[in-house]
Copies of this chain bind each other. A is one copy, B any other.
Amino acid sequence: MTTTRSRGSRRLEILGAAANLFAARGFHGVSIEDIGGAVGVSGPALYRHFSGKEALLAEMLLGISSRLRESAAAAVTSPGGPEETLDALLNVQITFALEQPALITVHDRELGNVPEPERRQIRRLQRLYVEEWVTVLAELHPSCPPPRLRAATHAVFGLLNSTPHSAGELPARAMRLLLHAMARAAIAASVNAH
């Protein structure tokens, strides 16, 4: 029945289904059976693809933070001044938040359930991602102390990641523009206010 899946496609299918379930009910609220069921196999079949539930989560979070950091690095090294770079970073985060709300949700809730070796690496990638933002903001506003820029960055992430909460309120294009405008304004204010 399974029409000769391209290698690794099953892994991805599982990761996707698990992401939705984790986002909806939390890591501990989802059973191996649930995940298997969501892709049409039942329970222990998952162990053919992952060494365990935690390993699955680890791979998921590692994938997310790698992709984010990679995209950010691309945005930063692309041509253009800091203003254009900031726009590129905004687009990275907005695109991710709009297209993968489940991944965004899991990404900032479930780090605590990742076992130690990988946990450290994910943290590292997340920190690097934040620092790309802080670096660009510092270029734009050299007088603003870094801790303030960091706090502003987290606030902007919160703003952009609100997508899962306002699902369907607006069409994607309008939402994209709205988030971009709000984030831009928030950043400007974060720096001007003293």
B-binding residues in A (CB < 8 A):
24-29, 108-109, 112-113, 147-148, 150-152, 154-162, 165-166, 169-170, 174-175, 177-179, 181-190, 192-194
Contact = CB atoms under 8 A, between A and B. Distances in A.
A33 to B, nearest CB: 15
Contacts of A148: 169-170, 174, 178
B154 A162 contact: yes
A162 B161 CA distance: 10
A125 B28 CA distance: 27
Given A27-B29, A174-B148, A178-B193, A186 B165 contact: no
B186 A182 contact: yes
7 contacts: A26-B26, A28-B29, A147-B169, A147-B170, A151-B170, A158-B162, A186-B186
